[in-house]
């Protein structure tokens, strides 16, 4: 149990490494003072540029992926692997959203969740990516695309595991969906108010029929 708690804390520390804030230190940029004030990849893209955003996203993905892959190899045999991996993932996401190194003000968890999905649900990742891209092309809303992509994982988990959403991983995917709604609640409020930013350049159908 002590080993598991230590590994969970290590996963949280991994998650607390903010890609945008880390890169920002080398560029004299505090992403939290730009654009929406969020430390995630979308704000990095809008406020700084694609190269900075790509670096941010890659760091955020790896900090969700690495704790699960690395720490799972050292677990005691009496600890259930699936439960431990889920806890490592949860800790990494909480570290991303509430980083101890940055006054508990981080991103919305999407990038880190991508790393967790690649580690735990590699067969589902391409389908989730396609859902994300489809919604983004149709609506232009990154937040909505991310939330629906997260919820699509629940469906894919149902078909992947014998017990579907009633497995440990199934409950975890439901938690992911609900958590993404929580962290993107401001995006939905702006959508309702009609002032949410949209990536109109990627909205192919709107450009075709405009």
| Same domain membership, residue 87 and residue 23 | yes
Phi and psi at 86, nearest 5°, equal: -65, -45
Q: What is the pLDDT of residue 201?
A: 67
Helix or strand (DSSP H, E) at 126: helix 122-139
What tokens appear for 18 in the block?
Answer: 């903010």
pLDDT for res 65: 94
- Model's pTM, two decimal places? 0.84
Tell me: do 10 and 36 sit in the same domain.
Answer: yes
Q: Which domain holds residue 143?
A: 123-210
Same domain? For 76 and 127 the reply is: no
Same domain? For 105 and 9 the reply is: yes
One domain for residues 95 and 164: no
Residues 6+ positions from 143 with CB-CB distance below 8 Å: 42, 108, 184, 187, 188, 191, 196
Q: What is the pLDDT of residues 3-61, one digit of tens each?
A: 899 999 999 999 998 888 888 888 788 777 777 777 777 777 777 878 888 888 899 99
Which pLDDT score, from 0 to 100, does residue 71 have? Answer: 94
Check residue 209 and give its pLDDT.
43
User: Do 53 and 128 fall within a single domain?
Assistant: no
Is residue 118 within 8 A of residue 65, CB to CB? The reply is: yes
- Asked if residue 161 and residue 75 are part of one domain, the reply reads no
Q: What does the pLDDT look like over 139-170, one tens digit per residue?
A: 888 889 999 998 898 888 877 765 666 677 88
- Number of separate domains in the chain: 2
Q: For residue 192, is it left (φ>0), alpha (ψ between -120 and 50) or beta?
A: alpha
Q: What is the mean pLDDT of the chain?
A: 84
Inter-residue contact 100 to 16 (CB < 8 Å): yes
Say yes or no: 129 and 67 in one domain: no
């Amino acid at each position: 149990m002590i080993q598991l708690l230590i590994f969970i804390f290590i996963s949280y520390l991994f998650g607390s490494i903010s890609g945008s804030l880390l890169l920002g230190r080398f560029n004299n940029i505090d992403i939290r003072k730009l654009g929406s004030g969020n430390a995630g990849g979308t704000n990095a893209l809008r406020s700084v540029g694609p190269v900075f955003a790509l670096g941010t996203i890659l760091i955020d993905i790896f900090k969700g992926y690495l704790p699960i892959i690395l720490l799972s190899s050292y677990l005691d045999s009496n600890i259930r692997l699936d439960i431990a991996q889920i806890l490592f993932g949860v800790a990494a996401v909480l570290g991303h959203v509430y980083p101890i190194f940055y006054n508990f003000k981080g991103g919305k968890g999407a990038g880190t969740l991508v790393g967790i999905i690649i580690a735990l649900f590699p067969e589902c990742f391409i389908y989730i990516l396609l859902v994300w891209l489809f919604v983004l092309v149709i609506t232009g809303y990154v937040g909505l695309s991310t939330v629906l992509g997260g919820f699509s994982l629940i469906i894919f988990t149902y078909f992947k595991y014998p017990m579907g959403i009633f497995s440990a991983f199934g409950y975890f995917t439901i938690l992911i969906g609900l958590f993404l709604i929580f962290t993107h609640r401001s995006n939905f409020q702006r959508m309702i108010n009609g002032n949410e930013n949209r990536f109109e350049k990627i909205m192919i159908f709107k450009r075709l029929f405009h």
